[in-house]
Amino acid sequence: MERRDIRNIAIIAHVDHGKTTLVDAMLRQSGIFRDPSQMTDRVLDSNDLERERGITILSKTTAIRYHDTTINIVDTPGHADFGGEVERILSMVDGALLVVDANEGPMPQTRYVLQKALSAGIKPIVVLNKMDREGARPHEVVDQVLELFIDLEASDDQLEFPVLYASAKQGVASVEPVLPESGSLEPLFETILREIPFPVGDETAPLQILVTTLEHDDYLGRMAIGRVTQGRVAVNQTVGIVDHDGAVRRARLSKIFGRIGLKRVELETATVGDIVTLAGLPDVNIGETITDADNPMPLPPIVVDEPTLTILIGVNTSPFAGQEGQFVTSRHLRERLLREQERNVALKVEETEDAEVFRVSGRGELHLGILLEQMRREGYEMEVSKPEVIMHKTPEGLMEPVEHLYLDVPDEYVGPVMELLGPRKAEMLHMGQAGPNQTRLEFLIPARGLLGFRTAFVNQTRGYGIMNHLFEGYQPYSGPIEETPRGALIAIEDGVTTSYALDNAQQRGILFVGPGTPVYAGMVVGENSRPTDLELNVCKKKHVTNMRSSTSDEAVRLTPPRPLTLDLALEYVKSDELVEITPKSIRLRKATLDKTLRKREKIQKL
């Protein structure tokens, strides 16, 4: 069966090269909105975190009509930490739009997502976006893209990729490297119809749908999203669900939905090539196959890269526990983490010997940080350990994950940046010009060496440096990397901070708290200027006397504290500390709050 009335495509790109903006333009020009001006920007980035950070975290599915053809579009994340989303989605589509910034050219994440597409046998259409911006260099960028295809060992057919030139912001595309003064995305739509293969399959064969994404509806419960590979599915049909072990369980479909624009459209049946959302499968999981109940034919399960980073998430045990959160028990944490694991295939959740602590492993700091931020916004309280890299024991010895690090830095900061990387076991691979007064540095660095590096890099380059990294593989353990010699300022008593005490404390380092902030003994209130920890009283009040001096009534001048965000806390936290996370606060604390016990533990380690 040939479905010439359908095209299934994914949109892949490096972060901030314009994927989601391009989808916006395609939706506006498809005619499915009565008033396109009412659409918000980045309409598919419905998650609050996605809008705040300007990145796509979860893959989204939409569909448009162009003439007599339905084009199913999947917007995918561009960051490698969310590669699990990309790998799943590519199993649903027959083609992809590779969006590349016409000024920046291919970037590290471009390489990552393109490699996934090529290995899946997909022939991409290359879209050079942001052609309206000054500095666009289309001819050079096309050559760079071709070199990238060759470097990734693309097939002869994949090397014959079509190229379009576009401005997603203006909603214009062209087959020539000069954009028309007025135009539309019609050249893009026509290229999709001409170049993207239409779905082909046997409608009479046993049903096969690989579950790639899960959604939740307050009325319908859990819903599975996937593409009909073969066969036909209908409402009220009894289907078989094949799990990862090959076991089959039966279920009855209550609803079938398709997509038009941002809305779900109820269907009676669906067949080869349709991307559908199925309700009535309460215990279905990602990677399972929905198939014929009497003649089950499972599809190969989805394989994603292994996690490289792990943290311990436990019940909040600080003196402030339970004051701000709604979900504070181990049962709440267990249910939430296991629920996340069901739809986030790149995440791994394990129970530990301590019933109140769970080991959570993911693809990187951003991957885990997004999960923690989502949980705190949902009302969860927890405490989190320092992120640790996952090592592999092999017959050849201990192996550790390594990353390919790409840095674009102003020329004057090259020396200081290289000094930062020396103690982190980084090995230089390449050094060259990235533009006027800009140097591009490439390193192979143990994943351990990247922990806490981003903040130091941003500070060292005054915010002008650009950093990207990709997982490269495993190599023999390269020896210990010392923690940054950074001491902590630690509160020694419970209470509320005062301006008088903070005025003395700020002379010792950088503060994380301002006046009037509740603190407890053992809480980290700042960074010491020396490499040792320092305990001090930040709640001390000025004694009132009957003596006056000429300076006694002068106002205290405090330096504004450094806001402790979740990302910063995960970089700052040391092995003997924890990050306390609540819906309203992010705090650093010593794992052992008692001062005497901390000293005893320190002596025992010596």
600: number of Cβ within 10 Å? 11
Name all contacts of 150-156 with Cβ < 8 Å and 24+ positions apart.
152/111, 152/114, 152/115, 152/118, 153/118, 154/118, 155/118
Residue 219 CB partners (closer than 8 Å, separation 6+): none
Q: Name the strands in the sheet holding 163-167, side by side, starting at the edge strand that comes first in the sequence.
A: 60-66, 69-75, 6-13, 95-101, 124-129, 163-167, 172-174
Pure H helices in 524-565: none
Please indicate if the annotation marks 310 as binding a ligand: no
In angstroms, rounded to a whole number, what is the distance separating the alpha carbons of residues 180 and 131? 11
- Strands 397-410, 466-476: pairing is antiparallel
261: tokens are 């624009």
Residue type, 225: I
Closest CA to 457 of 472, 445, 471: 445
CB 163 within 8 A of CB 142: yes
362: tokens are 């993911």
542: tokens are 């000025």
Secondary structure, 3-state, 50-64: HHHHCCCCCCEEEEE
Please indicate if the annotation marks 17 as binding a ligand: yes
In angstroms, rounded to a whole number, what is the distance separating the alpha carbons of residues 372 and 278? 29
**C-alpha pair distances (Å), 477 with each of 394, 398, 420, 427, 473:** 11, 6, 20, 14, 12
- For helices 453-460 and 414-421, the axis angle rounded to 10 degrees is 160
CB 184 within 8 A of CB 173: yes
Query: 3-state class of 597 per DSSP?
Result: helix
Q: Which residues of 88-111 are buried (b: 16+ CB within 10 A; e: fewer)?
A: bbbbbbbbbbbbbbbbbbbbbbbb
345: tokens are 């295939």
133: number of Cβ within 10 Å? 12
Instruction: Find the helix or strand (DSSP H, E) in which 282 lies.
Output: none
Length of the chain in terms of residues written? 606
**C-alpha pair distances (Å), 96 with each of 70, 113, 408, 462:** 15, 10, 28, 37
Q: Which residues of 466-478 are buried (b: 16+ CB within 10 A; e: fewer)?
A: ebbbebeebeeeb
At which residue do the structure tokens 């929905």 appear? 290
* Radius of gyration of the chain, Cα coordinates, nearest whole angstrom: 27
Please indicate if the annotation marks 19 as binding a ligand: yes
Please indicate if the annotation marks 16 as binding a ligand: yes
In angstroms, rounded to a whole number, what is the distance separating the alpha carbons of residues 538 and 592? 19
Annotated binding-site positions for GTP: 16-21
Annotated binding-site positions: 16-21
